[in-house]
A and B are shown apart, each in its own frame.
Chain A
Amino acid sequence: MISEKVKQSFIRIVGSENYDDSKAGRLVYSYDATPQFQSLPDAVIAPRNTKEVSEIVKICNEHRIPLVPRGSGTNLCAGTCPIEGGVVLVFKHMNKILEIDEENLTVTVQPGVITQDLIKAVEEKGLFYPPDPSSMKISTIGGNINENSGGLRGLKYGVTRDYVMALEVVLANGDIIRTGGKLAKDVAGYDLTRLFVGSEGTLGVITEATLKLIPMPETKKTMLALYQDLEAAARSVSKIIANKIIPTTLEFLDQPTLAVVEDYARIGLPTNVKAVLLIEQDGPYEVVERDMKKMAEICQEEQAVSVQIARSEAEADALRTARRSALSALARLKPTTILEDATVPRSEIAKMVKAINEIAEKYNVKICTFGHAGDGNLHPTCPTDVRDREEIERVEKAFEEIFAKAIELGGTITGEHGVGAMKAPYLEWKLGKEGIEAMKAIKQALDPNGIMNPGKIFAKSERKRVVVTR
């Protein structure tokens, strides 16, 4: 709860128009894109600059008020659900691109900038910012950094982490620090930049970021490989990489996912095949041609029933956009859509696809799978209904078994969506007790009062590990 006195101090900082504690105003920040999580904050505050953030944080720290920084609330791990109430901090005013530095190839932004706006702005100058989460038309850079988001181009170009060069961060005590710089090399002290990337708002508030840019690749080609056998598609993925080709994009969609995506996008996707791979390569013309040819051959060797090259950039773009809509499109099937983010080494992708299908059958649940196959990152997704408790239990069991299988294959419980409140109970499976303790020590040092996004990453109680029987 926020006392009247504290409320007045907040209002003195940001003005009454940027402080909202109405019921409706709080309700619309009580959720994110994660199903089954909702909790009201006590107030929503929209600071206008770093100094205001710092002052707000100081008050929260003094009064032990939980603070939840929030971008567009598209995360899938209950990362911005204010499960312990407190203040939700929104960056609708702090949404400017501050500088595009064409000499050092960097861009400096405020946290509320929308990912796609940034990508478009730098592309106008012939520059390229690769991390492109499917949610990029609404996700913010602040959110991307804090979830270390990946995207369709992750296979070749890496994830958000690989592009963050410098940060301005407000720490839990209100101190403002700057990490990194526009430097190709920098070993002055601990790499705090990397620490804050993926920290899910639990260590500090990011108020500015300098991101690395690269030159726009010269050409790009896109193709779709069609399969009547899921595992054959998955095998093609491992084989392409084993053949020392790193395409920009290597995405997997199974039949039920294709069907809903086509239902929405209506671009003539094949819905009568068991799976497709969306493959892209960019770079110098000759390299792209050579790689595309080779990949097409590999797909055909692996029983692809057809390999089609997009005839125009418009067609290619329609394919990418369709792929990006996969998760939301799956939501049309049932009232509740639960998705996972299990990730395995690329070589294990066919085994993982097989295991997912077996597990779905074992628990008698419907699982549709799509994902960044080239990254070994799959999104098995279950259309269900929270009102059917019995089914939800089976779904949860199935997903636990999928996590366990992923870890057994040398993988992880989340590749890009983060831990948040949702996967906190499973984190120990991946890290072990000692791993968790080391992370807790960092958290304790930077946020001794536990005001920064409490209840995320670290769970109150761990899940008992399921044992997978093969």
Chain B
Amino acid sequence: MTTAKERATIQQQFQTRMNEDELMNCMRCGFCLPTCPTYIESGFQESHSPRGRIALMKAVVDGLIEPDEDVERSLNMCLGCRACEPVCPSGVRYGHLLEEARDIIAQNKKYSLFVRIIRKIVFSGLFPHQNRMRLLTALVGFYQRSGLQSLARRFGLLNLLPRHLTTMEKVLPTVPTWKEMNDRPKQLTPQGIKKRRVAFFTGCLMDTMFMKTNDATMELLQRAGCEVVIPPAQACCGALHGHGGEKHQAKELAKRNIEAFEQLNVDYIVTNAGGCGAFLVEYDHLLKDDADWAERAKAFTRKIKDISEVLVELNFHETKLKVKPQVVTYQDSCHLRNVMKVANAPRQLLQAIEGAEFREMKDADRCCGSAGIYNIVEPEMSMQILDYKMQMAKQTKATTIVTANPGCLLQMKLGIEREGLSSHMRAVHIVDFLLEASGE
């Protein structure tokens, strides 16, 4: 709930900060509606559609309505999946509008003490500090290895959590140890002739919770002929902050990353998480009004490339790739597809694997409902979207669901658990699957 005074400030900031041209660029044709998961799952409510949300933002700017609870509700319900962008003939950059609107609301709203603490921990205490991320992951590791996990499960302690969080606990990967996390490579040589020099963006969550996948990524890059540099000064990409209404912190993280990478003289900066990559590739937008940084941000974003595109470019799919016979399907990472515009390369790679029968899933490009922390804050809608996704996945008869982003990976695992399919269906990150196919 916001007070009248907060609403007035929010409204006034909408007027000064929202990009009015971008809002007006929406001609209200409705072409984006059929691709919006929340529009569909809400039973076709315009207030949960992109066109409706843009109209609401504009109405706040125009002073037609106050930024009341319902407006906030509509914006909160948005997955930020950006499926509405590539289908918009008018080229409305919805994601930017949403980010700005959320930032204005978050900065001017008094959250409850509980939410304030959580936000503080997540946004300032944790993600910007890689050592703390490691510590947290190590704690999870301790939980998993010490026997605490089996104790907690045995005594039903987890039943105290909401159901989807209980399941979430089950699907967390077995995480690396403290020592493993602190012993990361800084430079790796190519196998065979050197074709490219690339930098690897490790990501905060990827380099802790999903460290194995990062290792696999670097291994693949080496096998494909890349010299890999991993600058230790890099930081979290800031996506969580940017999407969660903490734009200021996102900018600080962006600057740290630009500094960490700009002197490396590499062909590409490689990412393996669609969510991070999409945020990195828009640093130029994030810093466009900062005279000292705008150009440097542009140079940075030009180099961002997803691992699957790098591999295809280096003809990795023409090397020997083989798995035992299985049906495979691919769930797009929304941000990889809609923002980084990468949809073909992962499919091309998967189709090249001997033994893997690739079957396209219906609506593979529709969000799985993970969407950052959406599945925690909007569990109902998230689970509804996930259930649909699992129906589609089941129809393909696939035993392996491949994804390209940690959030999607966890969500798919969650889906498999919820459906009770874990005995014969698995979810993997594409690089892990490729490494498996390439022979470990």
> Are B46 and A332 in contact, with the CB atoms below 8 A?
no
The SS class assigned to the A binding surface is: loop
**Chain A residue at minimal CB-CB distance from B22:** A335
Q: How far is the CB of B76 from chain A (nearest CB, A)?
A: 12
1/0 contact trace for A24-67 toward B, CB 8 Å? 11011111110100101000000000000000000000000000
Contact of B25 with A335 in the complex, beta carbons under 8 Å: yes
Q: Can you list the 3 inter-chain pairs with the closest CB atoms, starting with the nearest?
A: A328-B89, A24-B70, A335-B24
Whether A325 is near chain B, meaning CB under 8 Å from some CB there, is: yes
Complex Cα distance, B89 from A263, in Å, reads 9
Bound complex: CA of A112 vs CA of B354, how far in Å?
Answer: 46
| Residue among A27, A331, A335 making CB contact with B59, cutoff 8 Å | A27
Q: Is B52 positioned at the interface, with any CB of A under 8 Å from its CB?
A: yes
A422 to chain B, nearest CB (A): 14
Which chain A residues (271-297) contact chain B, with CB distance < 8 Å?
A: none
Q: Which A residues are in CB contact (< 8 Å) with B43?
A: 92-93
Q: Determine the chain B residues whose CB is within 8 A of the CB of A332 once the complex forms.
A: 25, 89-91
Query: A93, A264, A328, A335 — which one has the most chain B CB atoms within 10 A of its CB?
Result: A328
| Residue contact A72 to B33, C-beta cutoff 8 Å | yes
Q: Is the CB of B24 within 8 A of A23?
A: no
Interface mask (A331-347 → B, CB under 8 Å = 1, otherwise 0): 11001110000000000
Interface residue stretch chosen among B61-69, B128-136, B414-422: B61-69
CB distance from B75 to the nearest CB of A (A): 10
**How far, in Å, is A111 (CB) from chain B's closest CB?**
13
Whether B59 pairs with A33 at a CB distance below 8 angstroms is no
Closest chain B residue to A335 by CB distance?
Answer: B24
> Which residues of B lie under 8 Å from residue A93 when comparing CB positions?
43
A29 close to B46 (CB less than 8 A) = yes
Q: Is A137 an interface residue (CB 8 A)?
A: yes
In the complex, given contacts A28-B56, A31-B55, what are 6 additional A-B residue pairs having Cβ atoms less than 8 angstroms apart? A24-B56, A24-B68, A138-B30, A138-B31, A264-B89, A328-B27
**Complex contacts, A461 vs chain B, CB 8 Å:** none
Q: B55: which A residues are within 8 A, CB to CB?
A: 27-28, 30-31
**From A32, A325, A329, contact of B28 by CB (8 A):** A32
| B70 A25 Cβ-Cβ under 8 A | yes
Is B9 part of the binding interface, using a Cβ–Cβ cutoff of 8 Å?
Answer: no
B15 located at the interface, meaning its Cβ lies under 8 Å from any Cβ of chain A in the complex: no
How would residues 366 to 382 of chain A score, 1 for a CB under 8 Å from any chain B CB and 0 otherwise? 00000000000000000
Please name all residues of chain B whose beta carbon is closer than 8 Å to the beta carbon of A22 when the two chains form the complex. 70
Closest to B49 in A: A28
* Residues in chain B near residue A33, CB distance under 8 A: 27-30
Inter-chain contact A135/B29, CB cutoff 8 Å: yes
Contact between B70 and A23, CB atoms less than 8 A apart: yes
Cα–Cα, bound, A327→B70 (Å): 31
B64 near A331 with CB under 8 A, answer: no
With the chains together, A90 CA to B46 CA distance in Å?
A: 10
A202 contacts B by Cβ under 8 Å = no
- Contact of B89 with A27 in the complex, beta carbons under 8 Å: no
Q: Which residues of B contact A73 (CB under 8 A)?
A: 28, 30, 46
B33 contacts across to A, CB distance below 8 A? 72, 138
**Shortest beta-carbon distance from B175 to chain A in Å:** 42
How far, in Å, is A453 (CB) from chain B's closest CB?
Answer: 18
Interface residues of B in 40-89 (CB under 8 A from A): 43-47, 49, 51-52, 55-56, 59, 64-66, 68, 70-71, 73-74, 88-89
For B, the interface residue count at a CB cutoff of 8 angstroms equals: 35
B residues contacting A by CB (< 8 A) are 20-21, 24-31, 33-34, 43-47, 49, 51-52, 55-56, 59, 64-66, 68, 70-71, 73-74, 88-91
Q: How far is the CB of B401 from chain A (nearest CB, A)?
A: 27
Query: Chain B nearest CB: distance from A462 CB in Å?
Result: 28
Task: State in angstroms the CA–CA spacing of A73 and B26 once bound together.
Answer: 14
Q: Are A23 and B68 in contact (CB under 8 A)?
A: yes
Decide: A92 and B44 in contact? CB cutoff 8 A.
Answer: yes
Docked pose: A135 CA to B30 CA in angstroms: 8
**Alpha-carbon gap, A25 to B44, bound state (A):** 12
Q: Is A35 within 8 A of B30, CB to CB?
A: no
Q: Is the CB of B30 within 8 A of A27?
A: no
What chain A residues lie within 8 Å of B21 (beta carbons)? 335
Question: B406 to chain A: closest CB distance in Å?
Answer: 30
Contact A328 B56 (CB under 8 A): no
**Is B30 touching A74 in the complex (CB atoms < 8 A)?**
yes
Collect the chain B residues with CB atoms within 8 Å of residue A31's CB.
28, 55
Taking the closest CB of chain B, its distance from the CB of A201, in whole angstroms, is 17
A114 on the B face (CB < 8 A): yes
Task: Contacts A73-B30, A137-B34 given; indicate if A328 touches B47 (C-beta within 8 A).
Answer: no
CA distance A115 to B20 in the complex (A): 32
* A114 cross-chain contacts in B, Cβ below 8 A: 34
B65 touches A24 (CB 8 A): yes
Residues of B within 8 A of A92 (CB): 43-45
Please measure, in the bound complex, the distance between the C-alpha atom of A33 and the C-alpha atom of B33, giving whole angstroms. 13
Task: Report the separation of the CA atoms of residues A332 and B29 in the bound assembly, to the nearest whole angstrom.
Answer: 12
Find residues 295-326 in chain A having any chain B CB closer than 8 Å to their own CB: 325-326
Closest chain-B Cβ to A118's Cβ sits at a distance in Å of 14
B31, B34, B47, B91: which contacts A24 (Cβ < 8 A)?
B47
Distance in angstroms from A179 CB to nearest chain B CB is 28
**Contact: A331 with B25, CB < 8 Å?**
yes
A328 to B34, Cβ gap below 8 A? no
Inter-subunit contact B24/A28 (CB<8 Å): no
- Are A27 and B64 closer than 8 Å at their CB atoms? yes
B74 touches A327 (CB 8 A): no
In the complex, the chain A residue whose C-beta lies closest to that of B35 is A137
Within 8 A of B (CB), among A77-128: 90, 92-93, 95, 114
Q: CB-CB < 8 A to B51: which residues of A?
A: 28
Which residue of chain A has its CB nearest to the CB of B29? A328
CB atoms of B31 and A325 under 8 A apart? yes
In the complex with contacts A23-B65, A325-B31, A331-B89 CB distance below 8 A: yes
Other-chain residue from A25, A135, A328 in contact with B88 (beta carbon distance below 8 A): A328
Can you sample 23 A-B contacts with CB below 8 Å?
A: A23-B70, A24-B73, A25-B70, A27-B55, A27-B64, A28-B52, A28-B56, A30-B59, A31-B55, A73-B46, A90-B44, A92-B43, A92-B45, A137-B31, A138-B33, A325-B31, A325-B89, A328-B31, A328-B90, A329-B89, A331-B26, A332-B91, A336-B24
**With known contacts A92-B43, A138-B33, A35–B65 Cβ distance under 8 A:** no
Q: Provide the bound-state CA to CA distance between A336 and B73, in Å.
A: 28
Residues of the A chain whose Cβ atoms lie less than 8 Å from the Cβ of B20: 335
B64: chain A residues within 8 A (beta carbon): 27, 38, 40
Q: How far is the CA of A74 from the CA of B59 in the complex (A)?
A: 19
A33 to B31, CA, bound (A): 11
Q: How far is the CA of A138 from the CA of B52 in the complex (A)?
A: 14
A28 touches B90 (CB 8 A): no
Of A22, A28, A332, most buried by chain B (CB within 10 Å of CB) is A28
Give A91's nearest chain B residue, CB to CB.
B44
Are B27 and A28 within 8 A (Cβ)?
no
Name the residue among A25, A263, A326, A385 with the largest chain B CB count within 10 angstroms. A25
Q: Which residue of A lies closest to B24 (CB)?
A: A335
Give the complex CA separation of A337 and B24 in angstroms: 10
Chain A 132-150 per-residue mask, 1 if CB under 8 angstroms from chain B, else 0? 0001011000000000000
CB <8 Å contact, A23 and B66: yes
Q: Whole-angstrom distance between the alpha carbons of A328 and B32 in the complex?
A: 11
